[in-house]
Amino acid sequence: MIQTMVLLVDDEADFVETMSKRLTKRGLGVLTAYSGQEALEKVDRDGASKVDVVILDVKMPGMDGLETLAALKQKHPLIEVIMLTGHATVESAIEGMKRGAFDYLMKPCNLDILVGKVDQACRKKRLHEAKILQARAEMIALRRGD
């Protein structure tokens, strides 16, 4: 199975560093970004196929979590987003869910639970991609008149 690629987005640098190390230890591929803007750039550059799941902090200066989510979903709808929220911003996380986020977690989070959700999200994404490929294949097959 191809390695799950995760993009960690949070303005708190220390948090991102440690989290990144822990996820790497568990066998995930980790990219990091410290703002919503940076996150979008990285996804655009490396290609949607590379990043499977985005772990997104809700409260960030500049482009906040919801805005980043909206932008991601617009350009790369297949990428799944898991929202991380400090207690005061539960509403935003729920709002994000309504707009297509996969799930939300409260900070500080239990890493095992997080990894579990990441796996689920990744599987959903991969499944979806597979269906698309299959549909394409069938379309071609139909055209060829086999």
Partner 1 sequence: MADRNQKLYRVLTRNMVLLVVGVALAPLILTGIVLLSQFQEAYRAKVIDHLAELVQKHSQNIDGFLTDRLANIRVVARSYSVEMLADGQFLRRNLALLREENGGVFVDLGLIDSQGIQQAYAGPFNLAGVNYAEANWFRKARQGEHFISDVFTGLRGTPHFIVAVRQSAEGRDWILRATIDFEAFNALVENISIGQTGFAFILNHLGEFQTKPRYQVTPDRSPNLDFFKSHLKPDRVAVTEKTDQTGRKLILAEAPLKGGEWILCYQQESDDAFAQLHHARRVTLAILLIGGLLIVVVAFVLSRRMVNRIAEANKQKAIMNDKVVEAGRLASIGELAAGIAHEINNPVAIMVEEAGWIGDLLADEDPTSEENLAELKRAVNQIQTQGTRCKEITHKLLSFARKTDPDIHEVSLSEVVEDVIDLLKQKTRYANVEIKADLDPDMPPVAASPSELQQVLLNLINNAVDAIDASGGKVTVTTREDNGEAVFEVADTGQGIPEAILPRIFDPFFTTKPVGQGTGLGLSICHGIIHKLGGAISVRSEVGQGTAFTVRLPVVNRSTEGGS
The span of 7-15, 27-35, 44-52, 91-99 binding partner 1 (CB under 8 A) equals 7-15
The span of 1-9, 21-29, 48-56, 115-123 binding partner 1 (CB under 8 A) equals 21-29
Query: What contacts 131, CB < 8 A, 6 or more positions away?
Result: none
Q: Shortest gap between Cβ of 72 and partner 1 (angstroms)?
A: 19
Which residue in 92, 120, 119, 112 sits closest to 104, CA to CA?
92
Q: Could you say which residues in the range 48-107 bind partner 1, by CB under 8 A? A: 59-62, 64, 86-89, 107
The span of 20-28, 39-47, 115-123, 133-141 binding partner 1 (CB under 8 A) equals 20-28
Strand stretches in 1-146, DSSP E: 5-9, 29-33, 53-57, 80-85, 103-106
Q: Shortest gap between Cβ of 48 and partner 1 (angstroms)?
A: 28
Residue 132 found at the interface with partner 1 (CB under 8 A)? no
Residue 15 found at the interface with partner 1 (CB under 8 A)? yes
Q: In whole angstroms, give the CA distance from residue 37 to residue 41.
A: 6
Q: Are 53 and 6 in contact (CB under 8 A)?
A: yes
CB closer to partner 1, 14 vs 146: 14
Q: In whole angstroms, give the CA distance from residue 36 to residue 62.
A: 8
Q: Are strands 5-9 and 29-33 parallel, antiparallel or unpaired?
A: parallel
The site for partner 1 (CB under 8 A) is made up of 12, 14-15, 18-19, 21-22, 25, 59-62, 64, 86-89, 107-109, 111
